[in-house]
Amino acid sequence: MSSSGFPTPLSSHAGRGIFQDVYEAAEDSFLLMDALQKDAETLQRMRQGCSSPRCTDVNPAAAHCTARTAFCNRVALQPVITDLVQGLLPRLGGQVDVLLFNPPYVVTPSEEVGSRGIEASWAGGQRGREVTDRFLPLVPGLLSTRGLFYLVTIAENQPDDIIRLMSHFDLEGESSLTTRAGNERLSVLRFHRKQQRRQ
């Protein structure tokens, strides 16, 4: 990672062959990458002394695809197949410097939430927030004192409401980047602890 830019990861295998039921990187993924690029200098300083990255997915096929993506891009990463961060708590409590969450955010009937297949990548239930609202209370216990949390949302998720909600957990948030993709207004929200100085 450098302030001069992130290379676009190699991920042409997603959505094809044995990974045909895996959601391919799209506008939301690229907006999240842009938000990280925007904070590249801060994130570079935070990387020093950090352990290897971890990721989770409820969909086994997506986890295996992520492992392939990491291998193709020469990144040491072993995905954990679990619901949200269940397989990583309490071990990672207070130790996460950078937390990324691109949740299923599409407004769908509640009964579509909870799949372990490709639907798990988009089915967000009421307001598209059912999975996100389960995760948000876990964030304060995961973040280190200097930790940053990035969350992908759409307008229907009511991003301003999420920012207000997280303020009750002593996390200060703002919209880092916003774009329009088709009918969706995508935003990446960025949170840090209130006592943390803005970088």
Mean pLDDT by 10 residues, the chain (199 residues): 60 80 90 95 80 88 93 91 92 93 97 90 97 97 95 98 97 96 94 73
Place of tokens 């309490």: 90
Query: What would the two tokens of residue 82 be?
Result: 């679990």
180: its two tokens: 């329009």
For each of the domains in the chain, give its residue range(s) and CATH number, in order of start.
Answer: 17-193 (3.40.50.150)
* pTM for this entry: 0.91
